[in-house]
């Protein structure tokens, strides 16, 4: 019971947020209208977006393999990425990110967990930068179109500043670590946990000091987000033929942040709430917006469900088995 109460402090806030958003959706949405929207959708566009979901996963694997300096094989990276996203969809505490490093370290032939984890941290940091760019770029068109050119300059400046700061940290990581240890000397637990994380994070930042490698990474990441944007636009068009590309831009930006806030596994409730909120900035039809959001959820589950399941089965693994291994591994890491 004590362990359950201890763990509840981690999962309960996210669960409450998800429940609150699901309740709000249930209150405002007419489900008969939503079902009608699902029946009337253009499934040719949905099928095309489904195919793009596998293209997206293939490119995302290339993004990660680039950060890993092409040391693991593409096949191993692809299936491990699928397994990680599958774990995130069904397991708490975003164990899929931790699980990706754990699973790949067992089949990469030489790369350790501590070497792999920083690449996932960097990938997520840059994801947040892209999400912020997309969201802020679309926001003026939702709030005040006249300010969009100025906002574009602001967004570009923020991105350049963020990347420059990361580059400076990569070049001066030892100074940054020494400063952290000096400031956290009075807090041993923070120093131990934070120091370990920062060491891994700064190790991952080394990609920024290799110009050609970083450009390759940035190219694949940009292409990855472009594929996602196209797929989201197709799914929105399937329900709203009058939709403009800015609908997808704002919708994808909101969806990215909806998936990042604390929630139940798979961003249940927060993802749908974010997408419905985004689409209803352009249309009052909340029921059809929810139908589009649910289609996007299937899109997100499709590639990881197929690729991740194939990967787990080929390795003789199950979700419950991997979850138990990850739990034991985390306890071992925390006790060291």
Q: Which residue has the higher pLDDT, 297 or 8?
A: 297
In a domain, 15, yes or no: no
Percent of the chain, pLDDT > 70? 78
Residue 2 banded pLDDT, cuts 50, 70, 90: very low
In a domain, 2, yes or no: no
Instruction: Tell me which range, 73-87, 104-118, 155-169, is most confidently predicted by mean pLDDT.
Output: 73-87
The CA–CA distances, whole Å, from 84 to 146, 154, 185, 226 equal 42, 34, 35, 22
Range with lowest mean pLDDT among 48-57, 79-88, 111-120: 111-120
Q: Looking at the predicted structure, is the pLDDT value of residue 39 above 90?
A: yes
Average pLDDT on 284-295 reads: 92
φ/ψ of residue 187, rounded to 5? -125, 85
In a domain, 20, yes or no: no
Residue 64 banded pLDDT, cuts 50, 70, 90: very high
Percent of the chain, pLDDT > 90? 31
Residue 139 banded pLDDT, cuts 50, 70, 90: confident
Average pLDDT on 286-309 reads: 91
Residue 308's domain comprises: 32-335
In a domain, 162, yes or no: yes
pLDDT digits (tens, 9 = 90+) for 172-205: 878 888 888 788 777 776 676 666 667 766 766 7
Q: Looking at the predicted structure, is the pLDDT value of residue 262 above 70?
A: no
In a domain, 206, yes or no: yes
Q: How many distinct structural domains can be found in the chain? A: 1
- Scored b (16 or more CB within 10 A) or e, 122-141 reads bbeebbebbbbbbbbbbbbb
In a domain, 21, yes or no: no
How many Cα atoms sit within 13 Å of 285 on the Cβ side? 16
In a domain, 18, yes or no: no
pLDDT digits (tens, 9 = 90+) for 197-240: 677 667 667 777 787 888 899 999 999 999 999 999 999 999 99
Token digits of residue 292: 């589009």
In a domain, 1, yes or no: no
């Amino acid at each position: 019971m004590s362990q359950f109460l201890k763990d509840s402090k981690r999962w309960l806030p996210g669960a409450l947020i998800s429940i609150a958003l699901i309740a709000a959706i249930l209150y405002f949405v007419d489900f008969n209208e939503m079902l009608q929207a699902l029946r009337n959708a253009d499934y040719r566009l949905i099928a095309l977006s489904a195919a793009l979901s596998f293209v997206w996963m293939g490119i995302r694997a290339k993004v990660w393999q680039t950060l890993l300096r092409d040391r693991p094989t593409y096949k191993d990276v692809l299936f491990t990425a699928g397994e990680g996203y599958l774990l995130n969809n069904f397991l708490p505490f975003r164990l899929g990110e931790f699980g990706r490093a754990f699973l790949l370290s067992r089949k990469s032939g030489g790369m350790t967990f501590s070497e792999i984890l920083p690449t996932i941290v960097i990938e997520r940091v840059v994801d947040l930068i892209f999400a912020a760019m997309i969201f802020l770029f679309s926001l003026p068109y939702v709030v005040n179109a006249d300010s969009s050119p100025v906002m574009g300059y602001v967004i570009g400046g923020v991105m350049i500043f963020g990347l420059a700061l990361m580059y400076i940290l990569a070049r001066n990581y030892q100074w940054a670590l020494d400063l952290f240890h000096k400031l956290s000397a009075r807090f041993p637990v923070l120093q131990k946990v934070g120091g370990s994380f920062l060491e891994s994070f700064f190790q991952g930042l080394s990609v920024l000091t290799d110009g050609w490698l970083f450009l390759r990474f940035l190219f694949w990441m940009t292409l990855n987000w472009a594929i996602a944007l196209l797929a989201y636009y197709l799914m929105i068009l399937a329900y709203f033929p009058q939709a403009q590309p800015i609908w997808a831009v704002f919708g994808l930006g909101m969806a990215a942040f909806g998936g990042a806030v604390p929630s139940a596994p798979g961003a249940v409730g927060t993802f749908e709430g974010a997408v419905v909120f985004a689409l209803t900035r352009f249309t009052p039809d909340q029921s059809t917006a929810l139908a589009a959001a649910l289609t996007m959820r299937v899109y997100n589950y499709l590639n990881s469900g197929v690729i991740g399941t194939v990967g787990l089965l080929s390795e003789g693994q199950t979700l419950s088995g991997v979850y138990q291994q990850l739990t034991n591994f985390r306890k071992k890491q925390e006790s060291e």
